Structure 1
Amino acid sequence: MTTTTVHNPDQYMYDFRHLLTHNKKKIGVLIGAGAPVSINTADPNTPRKPLIPDIAGLTELVYQGLDDSEKKVFDALEIDLGIKNIELILSRVRSLAEVIGITEVYGLNAKGYEKLSFKICSIIKAIVSKELPSCDNPYSHLISWINGINRDFAVELFTTNYDLLLEEAMERVRTPYFDGFSGSRNAFFDPSSISSNDLPAKWIRLWKLHGSINWSKNEKGEVIRGNSNDEDTMVYPSHIKYDQTQSAPFSALFDRLKNFLLEPDTLLLTIGFSFADAHITAKLDECLSENKSSAILAFQYKKLDEELYATCAALRTPNISVYCSDGAVINGIKAPWAIGQSPSKNWDIIRSEYWMNNSFKLGDFVTFAKFLASSGGSSIRLQELLLEDKKVEQGHVDE
């Protein structure tokens, strides 16, 4: 007789909810390009319009912003790379600008590629320079959850996004944060502050792994954080070029991700991150293979068979768990979801926050952030359910 392996989402969300309210847990959140896509800015009854597009959408918008001659170069680089990805193409543009000198490649010499790099960065900056909606939004919910519990360890936010949405969400509610820069007029990068990590726990750590639209280079070639309205070339690091991530601030930021995962008993939550970034995924694999007490919970928007990079990472590294809409990879086992017995008397209320239309929904950043916020220490309803759970565990609830 054969049995079919399944994963019960209630079991894992019950444990996850308790982890979120544990003030001694070291928690980090890695936010990828899929996060701002979840915010719909379109009017009712009109096609969906994300606040900021994903990489595919960003690539298309950049392409539309180029003139005909620039598009020809873009097309040639796309064929050369075998993929239409703005970060990879920008990486190639910068590499050519550094090495070819007066030699022409696809009709441009080094100076031509420098100008193309600046043009691409200017278009990207215009696209991602968005503000959060004034109403409820997932970024504000995320910060609300972080502020809701007095933690022994600071929450660390890692992001591959260039926008300033996290900064805006924190500043709206006067939440202190540190992003590795010190100073006021032209804040300078201070790697020693990142490595020491000795700020108070109430300060959120914000680590922007791929740069930011308010980063630029000064006359000495140093990366500074200034005004997002600056006109000089913004810094967008190439996202899989190892050698280009070894200079400050990127080497220090990647080291911070590594050091976080190598600390005892850490949990990294990922949302909107596809695991297609080879450099970051390799770092995650390396750290979790070395430190078995750390874990990653990856919340993916699509189905298992559509999240190939994430599921492959979880299959080769058992302490990475991937939660997709139709199933999960947990402890190296890939299986569909199947609702089982409720872990507590009132669990239907909690289940409705992550399970809708027979599908797991925490891969959507809006739903994910609401789930975190509702798990905060100030939630009266959840406190009542926690008390109910405790009574069930102690056998004090009548059947």
Structure 2
Amino acid sequence: MQSHDPNRQLGFIQQALSQNRKPLGFFIGAGCPLSVRITREIDGTTQNLPLIWDVAGLTKVIGDRLRATEGAQPSNWDKMIAIVREDGGNEMNIELILSKIRAFISVAGKGNVRGMAVDDLTTLDSSICKVISEEVERSLPNNQTPYHNLAVWIRSIHREKPVHLFTTNYDLLLEQALEESSAPYFDGFIGARKAFFDLGAVEDENLLPPRWTRLWKIHGSLNWRLENKNNVVRSDIKSENQSYLIYPSHLKYDQSRKMPYLAMLDRLKSFLLSPSAVVFICGYSFGDEHINDIICRSLETNPTAHVFAFLFGALEDPKYMHGKIWAEKTPNLSLLAFDKAIIGRNIGAWKTDNPTALSLPVNVLVSSGEDISLKLGDFSAFGNLLRALSGAQDSAHETE
């Protein structure tokens, strides 16, 4: 089997990250908050747990909470899970479950779909979003997190091209880190008390200062609200006449509810079509075929762009199946797992005769005998690399 030199790939990555003229983007997935650990009291015992669960963990929490709340057996949650299972879907993916609920609502009218009444479906949708809001409404515990390392790296040098942050996460961790690191950003909304979504500003974002990071929340956000059924606002104010804008199904909605999501997806596509664009993906397992299609079709159209996807754990993990399929036919999509990589459509294990050739932070490149692990798929390790680079960039900037 072919092998890949981790030093060579790290050299490419460091070189790209050190440029201020190249279009650079980061795609932050649901696995990233797992790298931030906090102490929580669960059932009377103190445990070291992730700040926010990943998709599977969040789905389990939602199921446990809704079953306990509804009481009746089977609960509406159980009925929906049975339908998802019957249809061969992933019952541990809350986004797929929400998509199916909303698809049913869109065709139910005043009747039933698959034995579920439209009122039950609507209530289930609202209950799920409420639990999601409660579970992801958390703050970073200190300013030494990978999110802060990313934010500090962003503002460490004068940039001719703005950094773009794409995320499927609903939490406000990126916003917190950027603000606490004094890194200005634009997220498509204008205003302070109830910021409104401004499509014109999104489409003309290239007119904004390049030192402003662009933050695009592809699946909505904890603080997005649909107010009075037609106004999309970003606000921490909660009221009865607002509904959560969390994760779209990719079906037809009224224009006001649909627009933010379409605009965010358009930003991802537009960025990947930029000449020589580079995107670093972390915490994403390629489980969303709609996003996969945008990423990979854009890479096919623009061979000068490149995506480095950092995977947590082994490349052969079944959850990376879709990513592997795309990488094996897309030469400018590289998958870098702990043990192996797919680079230039070729799969191979990591191998180097000199694991200390580069000066790297701890836990980025780990060797044990002949076994080599490249751990950029751990957001903490990637954050350490960014921290080291931001220090070097700050020093270089001061001597100019």
Q: Matched residues in 2 for 1:49 and 1:133: separation?
A: 13
In structure 1, the partner of 2:226 is 217
Q: Which amino acid aligns with 1:70?
A: N
Q: Which amino acid aligns with 1:124?
A: I
Q: Which amino acid aligns with 2:212?
A: W
Aligned partners of 1:9 and 1:338 also within 8 Å: yes
In structure 1, the partner of 2:327 is 314
State yes or no: 1:372 paired with 2:386: yes
State yes or no: 1:336 paired with 2:349: yes
Query: 1:301 deviation in Å?
Result: 0.5
State yes or no: 1:72 paired with 2:78: yes
Q: Which moved more, 1:167-176 or 1:352-361?
A: 352-361
Q: Which runs of 5+ in 1 are unaligned?
A: 384-399
Q: Matched residues in 2 for 1:322 and 1:72: separation?
A: 36
Q: Matched residues in 1 for 2:234 and 2:86: separation?
A: 34
Q: Which moved more, 1:32-41 or 1:153-162?
A: 32-41
Identity %: 35
Q: Matched residues in 1 for 2:391 and 2:359: separation?
A: 17
In structure 2, the partner of 1:390 is none
Q: Which amino acid aligns with 1:79?
A: R
Q: Which moved more, 1:65-74 or 1:129-138?
A: 65-74
Matched residue count: 376
Tell me the SS of whatever aligns to 2:133.
helix
Q: Which runs of 5+ in 2 are unaligned?
A: none
Q: Which moved more, 1:354-363 or 1:4-13?
A: 354-363
Aligned partners of 2:315 and 2:341 also within 8 Å: yes
State yes or no: 1:122 paired with 2:130: yes
Q: How does 1:125-164 map to 2 (within 5 A)?
A: 125-164=133-172
Cα distance, 1:176–1:286 mapped onto 2, change above 3 Å: same
Residue 300 of structure 1 is aligned with which of 298, 303, 311?
311
What TM-score results when the alignment is normalised by the length of structure 1? 0.88
Query: 1:65 deviation in Å?
Result: 1.1
Q: Which amino acid aligns with 1:201?
A: P
Q: Matched residues in 2 for 1:13 and 1:381: separation?
A: 21
What TM-score results when the alignment is normalised by the length of structure 2? 0.88
Q: Which amino acid aligns with 2:233?
A: I
Cα distance, 1:103–1:245 mapped onto 2, change above 3 Å: closer
Q: Matched residues in 1 for 2:230 and 2:105: separation?
A: 16
Q: Which amino acid aligns with 1:145?
A: W
Aligned partners of 1:314 and 1:322 also within 8 Å: yes
Q: Where is the strand percentage greater, Structure 1 or Structure 2?
A: 2
Q: Matched residues in 2 for 1:130 and 1:228: separation?
A: 16
Q: Matched residues in 2 for 1:351 and 1:57: separation?
A: 30
Q: How does 1:1-399 map to 2 (within 5 A)?
A: 4-42=1-39, 48-66=48-66, 67=70, 68=72, 69-82=75-88, 83-84=90-91, 85-105=93-113, 107-197=115-205, 198-227=207-236, 229-230=238-239, 232-238=242-248, 241=250, 243=252, 247-306=258-317, 307-341=320-354, 347-350=357-360, 352-357=362-367, 358-376=372-390, 378=392
**Can you list the C-alpha shifts for 1:237-273, whole angstroms capped at 9, x where unaligned?**
335x254598301111111111101111100110001
What do you get for the CA RMSD once the two structures are aligned?
Answer: 2.4
Aligned partners of 1:158 and 1:207 also within 8 Å: yes
Q: Which amino acid aligns with 1:58?
A: L
Tell me the SS of whatever aligns to 2:281.
strand
Q: Matched residues in 2 for 1:151 and 1:245: separation?
A: 38
Q: Which amino acid aligns with 1:63?
A: G
Cα distance, 1:27–1:245 mapped onto 2, change above 3 Å: farther
